[in-house]
Structure 1
Amino acid sequence: MARSTTPTRSAARPRDSKKPATPRSPQRDLFQLDSPLTAEIRGERSLMAFPFFALSKNAWMKPLTYDHATVSIEVRPSASGVATIYDKEIVLYIASLMAAKIEAGEDVVQDFVFTAHDLFSVTGSNHSARSYGRLSEALERLQGTQIKTNIEAGGEGEEGFFSWLSEARLHYSRTKTGERRLKAVKVRLCDWLFRAILRDRQVLDYAAAYFQLGPIERRIYEVARSTCEEGPDGPVPLEIDLATFRLQIGYQNPLSNFRAALKQIAGTDTIPDYDIALIETAPDAEPRAGRGRKTAPVSVVITRRERVEPESPALATPIDSVAAQ
């Protein structure tokens, strides 16, 4: 999406300069903003592949666990619940700011300062008072949710729990009428994710339509984007059994509900860049007497659609990952 470039921060003028200095806004005097974001939305591959967030718009108060193959994840709620897939938008926005800095050759630190206005513009949220209220609630959940995982980041592992944001503050001023006016959001990204983005460089771009998707569709897209591979002859389909796919998506309801939801999603073709199909296979053996008919196993097949290359190579700007330095 086309956006305005980041305002240039001019160097301080010599004291003996007779030319008057350009007036600066009070906000600029207090904060050096990392927004606006001028690149795509991006996410770290592990955060895309595995279920770290609740698939809910409302407060999710139960712990989340994932333990499959070699990966284990435990997520504990705070008093306001587990961070949701919608709260994740803030994490993606921060990761995108960080990736853009790395690509530009700038130094990066764990503290980020941005405007809520730019966050809402990038994620497609409206700029209502309710959106600002939801932002405060989301930051609280991101700071309060506790995560424990054996996934290493930046060549290092961690024992114990961490939060997505170790610090989150809303800076505001008062108008003459006493109304609060939000000036900037300041956050500190957790060590684990900061190392993953800075050192591992496994950062992938998101389709612009991601923010218009529902919770399950978002997770399906993320798993597909982080897992489907490109072969010498084109995209390689991902085939996974339904039960394992349910675990990776982080779906908490019964498998039969997940199958019904997935069938509907496949029928409406709503996942950007990917086709989904449910394939039933014949049971391995006949059921024993008195035990009823055995349910046919179901596999999920995800295939990336062929990309249409632009006519002029100069117009092609795919960014699949932050280039390793």
Structure 2
Amino acid sequence: MNDNIFECNLRAPYSLKSDLFSLELPIYAISSKSREPVELKYKDTFVRITPSHIGRATVKDKEIVIYCLSQLMVQLNSKLQPGEIASVCTFDFLKTTGRGASGRAYQDFNLALERLKGTIIQTNRTINGKPIDQISGIIESYKISESKSRRVEIKLADWIIQSALENKILTLDPSYFGIKRSFDKRVYEVCRKLCGKYHTLSIRLENFHTLVTGTGTAAKFKRDLTLLSSRGKMLGYRVKLKNQMVRIYKDTPEGKKFLTKDMLAGIV
């Protein structure tokens, strides 16, 4: 057994985890049709994302990274020696993420791996003061087994492993994989990163746009966000938009108090 390989074979409940970097900034695209390089600047952080010829890695593709990272964190929290290569049973992943097990689902999984491998990131971001490689992918390589189990060995990028080792991760809602729309999933990620211990938070619409997608027109983003807001709470958060401000409320007793107060005051 290669000591550098860790098995993603947990079936009992475990916490879903994401790295902080891709929670805060839109490393992953909303659509697989995204094929143009993207440059993002937010505060002191610069990111350039270059897709491969089949497109940029998507929010849905990120589920593979979350699946591997979540099980890696179980190992780290159990004081076991961490590996860098995740051994994944494709069927277990598809079942866990609710994708079904059709031939199309397996094909989409393979395309997701290729996008993750081919998407290149350049950034000045650091992890605990340690620079992320100036040019890095999301996964370095993958190898698909020819056996009936259809396992795949996925070598995660160094910056993802470093995020785990430095505990620069956050726990996601257990129902995260159940969010169907990639846009909604990305809004949830940003809310999760921004709010932290706060019960409510305000941010300018243009900044929220940068953090959620970083692409597309302001008008389309506002329409999509208004539609999401009209559907009510989303995995523990409510998002309200008025004028050029976005207000996020946690679905907690304190968060509900803030929402009620702001509604009575006409703020939202």
TM-score using structure 1 length: 0.72
CA distance in 2, matches of 1:270, 1:146: 34
- Cα pair 1:116 1:184 within 8 Å, conserved: yes
1:33–1:202 Cα change, 3 Å: closer
Which one of the candidate residues 209, 213, 237 is aligned to 1:246?
209
Partner in structure 1 of residue 164 of structure 2: 197
CA distance in 2, matches of 1:84, 1:149: 18
Q: Distance in 2 between matches of 1:77 and 1:32?
A: 28
Structure-2 change in CA distance of 1:37 and 1:146 (3 Å): farther
Alignment-derived partner of residue 186 in structure 1: 153
Instruction: Name the SS for the 2:136 alignment partner.
Output: coil
Between 1 and 2, higher relative CO (CA 8 Å, sep ≥ 6) is seen in 2
4+ residue runs over 4 A deviation: none
User: Which blocks of at least 5 consecutive residues in structure 2 are unaligned?
Assistant: 255-268
Find the counterpart in structure 1 of residue 223 from structure 2. 260
> What is the correspondence of 1:167-246 to structure 2 with a 5 Å cutoff?
167-173=141-147, 181-199=148-166, 201-213=167-179, 214-230=181-197, 235-246=198-209
By how many angstroms is 1:203 displaced?
A: 1.9
Structure 1 residue 210: deviation in Å? 2.1
Equivalences for residues 1-80 of structure 1 within 5 A: 33-38=7-12, 39-56=14-31, 58-80=32-54
Match for 1:111 among 85, 90, 102? 85
* More helix per residue: 2
Query: How big is each residue's C-alpha offset from its partner over 1:293-312, in whole Å with a ceiling of 9 and x where there is no partner?
Result: xxxxx10000111179xxxx
Give the total of aligned pairs.
249
CA deviation after TM superposition for structure 1 residue 164, in Å: 0.8
Instruction: Tell me how far 1:114 sits from its aligned partner.
Output: 1.5
Give the Å deviation of 1:32.
Answer: 6.9
Structure 1, residues 211-268: CA drift from partner, whole Å, max 9, x if none? 23211111110011111032xxxx4311111111101101522111111111111111
Deviation at 1:59, TM superposition (A): 3.2
> 1:47: how far off?
1.5
Please report the RMSD computed on the Cα atoms of aligned residues, expressed in angstroms: 2.0
Q: Does the CA-based 8 Å contact 1:50-1:249 persist in structure 2?
A: yes
Matched residues in 1 for 2:30 and 2:6: separation? 34
- 2:249 pairs with 1:303: yes
Q: Is the 8 A contact 2:87 2:152 kept in 1?
A: yes
In structure 2, how many angstroms separate the alpha carbons of the residues matched to 1:67 and 1:215? 22
Amino acid at match of 1:85: V
The runs of 5 or more residues in structure 1 that have no matched partner are 1-8, 10-30, 174-180, 281-297, 309-325
- 1:136 and 2:110 correspond: yes
> Does the 8 Å contact 1:242/1:300 carry over to 2?
yes
Distance 1:216 1:189 in 2: 25
Q: TM-score, normalised by structure 2?
A: 0.87
